[in-house]
Amino acid sequence: MGGTVVLSGEPAYRGVLGQIDPDRNVVAPVALPPAPAAPGIAPLTGLPLDDPAVAGRPALLVKIDNTAKGRPQEALARADLVYEELIEGGFTRLAAVYHTHSPLLGPVRSGRTTDIALLGSLNEPIFAWSGANRVHAALLRRQDFVDLGAATIRNYFRADDRPGTYDLMTESDVLRDLAAQRDAGGAPPPHFEYRDATIGLPASAVAATGASIDFPSVSVEWTWEAATAGWARTQDGSRHVDAQDVPVVARNVVIAEVGVVGTGSVDLSGSSVDEQLFLGTGRGWVLSDG
């Protein structure tokens, strides 16, 4: 995996994920993968589906802004999975995965090589993104996904009620139709094996009312909320709600301790564009049931 990747006129890529052969299994499994989802069960959430046919369609991963100018995000509370990625300046960006719902999406932002591991876990998902610098875009496009980003299709628009740069939107139904026309994309495999509601927590579980995560420029809290039977998200001291005024509440929260490496790129302010290694093994904490 050593070495560098260079495009003329661009800084050399010095990260890790972009130098892995997309067809090569580089991490030995430490546990058996989750069993395939039962018929009628959503593979990413473990919940019953109103329409069993939904299980067989591709997941849609979209990069979404998470700064003050980008919030509230459209229909964030309807995502099946949401990854929070550290980006330049100590802020975070979201990689939201929609499989069971198909809402309006945005504000759509650019991809990072961090997304390589996420895309690879979803079995040829649809990828909605605003673009990336030439080096990172080239590395991302080596991966196996349905590229329906703003650089490849015209089905994006600017929202009049949002500030520039934070106003790029798209419709997930439109992206799904385009993928279907290409006969592209695969159904996502289960990412977790969910505990049955009748089974108690393991003996090793420790009672908790919440958890705090302090990114360099963002403070995040997850607090158990009995009324919603979930973990309510607070960001920078304010309850996180989406553009539909629906609170962001997760049934389960996974806090992963991952490695961070520089990619060799910097943004316009000179901040390093880093890469989180969502690949391999490491420490983690799971919030479930309060």
Domain map of the chain by residue range?
Answer: 17-25+58-191+200-288
End-to-end Cα separation, the chain, in angstroms: 41
Give the model's confidence band at 1: pLDDT under 50 very low, under 70 low, under 90 confident, else very high: very low
Judged on CB neighbours under 10 Å (0-12, 13-18, 19+), 19 is middle
**Predicted local confidence at residue 10, as pLDDT:** 67
Give the model's confidence band at 34: pLDDT under 50 very low, under 70 low, under 90 confident, else very high: confident
Phi (first) and psi of residue 248, to 5 degrees: -80, 105
Indicate if the pLDDT at residue 89 is higher than 70: yes
For range 47-53, the mean pLDDT: 96
**Predicted local confidence at residue 12, as pLDDT:** 87
Number of other residues whose CB lies within 10 A of the CB of residue 78 = 16
Name the nearest CA neighbour of 64 among 113, 111, 107, 116: 107
For range 143-147, the mean pLDDT: 97
Give the model's confidence band at 281: pLDDT under 50 very low, under 70 low, under 90 confident, else very high: confident
Q: pTM (2 decimals)?
A: 0.93
Contacts 24+ apart (CB under 8 A), 35-41: 35/190, 35/193, 36/189, 36/190, 37/190
Return d(Cα 273, Cα 135) in angstroms, integer: 12
For range 117-138, the mean pLDDT: 96
For range 91-95, the mean pLDDT: 98
Using alpha carbons only, give the angle 262, 263, 265 rounded to the nearest 5 degrees. Answer: 110
For range 198-227, the mean pLDDT: 95
Q: Are 181 and 153 in contact (CB under 8 A)?
A: no
CATH of domain 17-25+58-191+200-288: 3.50.90.10
**Predicted local confidence at residue 9, as pLDDT:** 58
